[in-house]
Amino acid sequence: MTGNDSPPEDRPSEEAPDRSFAVDVEEVLEDDPDGEPSQGLFDDLLSGEPIFENKEVLRPSYTPHELPHRSDQINKMATILVAALRGETPSNILIYGKTGTGKTASAKFVSQELEQTSKKYEVPCEVEYINCEVTDTQYRVLAQLANKFIEQNEAHVERRLSDLADLREAVEEGSTALEATPFESTTGIDSRIETLEDELEEMEPVPMTGWPTDRVYKEFFDAVDYRERVVVIMLDEIDKLVEKSGDDTLYNLSRMNSELDNSRVSIMGISNDLKFTDFLDPRVKSSLGEEEIVFPPYDANQLRDILQHRADIAFEERALTDDVIPLCAAFAAQEHGDARRALDLLRTAGELAERSQSEHVDESHVRKAQDKIELDRVVEVVRTLPTQSKLVLFSIILLEKNGVHNINTGEVFNIYKRLCEEIDADVLTQRRVTDLISELDMLGIVNAIVVSKGRYGRTKEISLSVPTEETEAVLLADSRLSEIEEIQPFVQARFDN
């Protein structure tokens, strides 16, 4: 399709959606004491045809109102959770699925609906979301939950206090409209206010550290049980929690119901790992997995629907050429059907198109976006590598740059040693360095395979699988590594043997 090079038809696309903003920019520029010309830095960029209409929609944080191809899962969740609206305890739910399969989005969507409906019918029902990758110990989970409920209870009490204050005022004025009030006089109200204030006094947030865990648990327990309601606790990335701090938390949460007087608790676990229940206590396993919902990866067609859906909102009309979305979908489908990845790709492609001032997003932008995302990933990984790993990687790069292929561990280790001496770092043993190389392999930064060279031993053959120049630049940005000045000697040393 080469109809893209559209003739200069409606060149003056001056209908910038946010006129006021444009004016502001001009004003600022005019007020500049230096007397800069008003044809400023941003003018060019603003004048281009806008590509995005609403970019937020493409961000991972956005929770869509419609989730194509997930109605089965959503319905099942809803069927289970209606119980909450009838004041019963919903079954615990376990949700499985790989990253970017819409688990969190669906769960959040359902919980929003649930809370809204509960307000409509005035059934007390709440959902609390916890991301266990961030909050990854029993203590922190309990503390966070406790604090959320304490906060809510406080708000609840405060509301009742202000209601009472109003009532008191009304009674004092002898308003006749209040015959139905249960209080004869202000003193009755006063004592009620007093007890509530005392209760408010007691509600102190749990400190982030310091208390014994069971005290936090008690605090949380009391806060939940403070009044009648159904509470759904949503534990995202629950596998991380189990991995890092065992199943005690889940055990405690799942047996809570038998001790609660006023409220009911239901757990909704979201996991990336299908097999994580293997590590659980059988009791926990059976109680948690009362209902299981699986989110299979999206296939390319489904991804296309999802992208189309969002693209309609996110982009200006006709900003995308026809092949953009299928291509994004195809790329992402290769990465185990990760919708997040697909959206990321689409957004990045759009940004690239915007930056290059083209009027449409086309296939080339998608391909560039693919590269950019991969490069960003690598840069981020390399940047956050520990110093020792950086040194190892740098050694590999030095060898590679010198045209050495099929690098082996011995060579890397030699160069690595010299680098360490140069910047005065601890020299690790070769055993450790092989592990570091294996880690780099895992991260996809290098490629290492064990080969036997017969008489000449057995070693890893290592090759770089990321762009040399960029990676080197990232490494040299590290304050320790930047001390390395003369690179030649290291390279030279290799040929001396």
Q: Does 463 bind DNA (CB under 7 A)?
A: no
Q: Does 410 bind DNA (CB under 7 A)?
A: yes
| CA 176 vs CA 160, 169, 180: distances in Å | 22, 12, 10
Binding-site size, DNA (CB under 7 A) = 36
Q: Does 210 bind DNA (CB under 7 A)?
A: yes
Amino acid at 20: S
Could you tell me the two tokens for 122?
């005035």
| Rounded least distance, CB 419 to DNA, Å | 15
DSSP type of residue 426: P
d(C-alpha 186, C-alpha 173), whole Å: 10
| Strand pairing category for 93-97 and 291-295 | parallel
How far is it between the farthest Cα atoms of the chain? 106
Q: Does 386 bind DNA (CB under 7 A)?
A: yes
Q: Does 120 bind DNA (CB under 7 A)?
A: no
Residue pair 446/462 in contact by the 8 Å Cβ criterion: yes
- Tell me whether residue 196 is exposed, middle or buried, using C-beta atoms within 10 angstroms of its C-beta: 0 to 12, 13 to 18, 19 or more: middle
> Which CB, 190 or 214, lies closer to DNA?
214
Among 8, 212, 282, 403, indicate the residue that binds DNA (CB under 7 A): 212
| Rounded least distance, CB 470 to DNA, Å | 24
Stretch that binds DNA, among 15-23, 119-127, 393-401, 458-466 (CB under 7 A): 458-466
Q: What are the start-end ranges of the E strands in 73-228?
A: 93-97, 125-131
Could you tell me the two tokens for 104?
């969190």
Q: Does 489 bind DNA (CB under 7 A)?
A: no
> Which CB, 141 or 314, lies closer to DNA?
141
| CA 490 vs CA 13, 465, 487, 495: distances in Å | 58, 22, 6, 9
Binding-site residues from annotation: 101-105, 298, 310
For 127-137, b/e burial (b = at least 16 CB within 10 A) is bbbbbbeebbb
Q: Does 52 bind DNA (CB under 7 A)?
A: no
> Which CB, 402 or 434, lies closer to DNA?
434
Beta bridge partners of 271: 96
Residue pair 237/141 in contact by the 8 Å Cβ criterion: no
Q: Does 450 bind DNA (CB under 7 A)?
A: yes
Among 137, 257, 406, 463, indicate the residue that binds DNA (CB under 7 A): 137
Q: Does 409 bind DNA (CB under 7 A)?
A: yes
Q: Does 497 bind DNA (CB under 7 A)?
A: no
Q: Does 135 bind DNA (CB under 7 A)?
A: no
> Which CB, 139 or 331, lies closer to DNA?
139
Q: Does 405 bind DNA (CB under 7 A)?
A: no
Could you tell me the two tokens for 137?
């110990």
Stretch that binds DNA, among 55-63, 77-85, 354-362, 426-434 (CB under 7 A): 426-434
Q: Does 460 bind DNA (CB under 7 A)?
A: yes
**Closest of 135, 132, 133, 129 to residue 108, by C-alpha:** 129
Q: Does 140 bind DNA (CB under 7 A)?
A: yes
Binding-site residues from annotation for ATP: 101-105, 298, 310
Interface with DNA (CB under 7 A): 137, 139-140, 209-213, 244, 386, 388, 408-411, 426-432, 434-435, 437-438, 450, 452-460
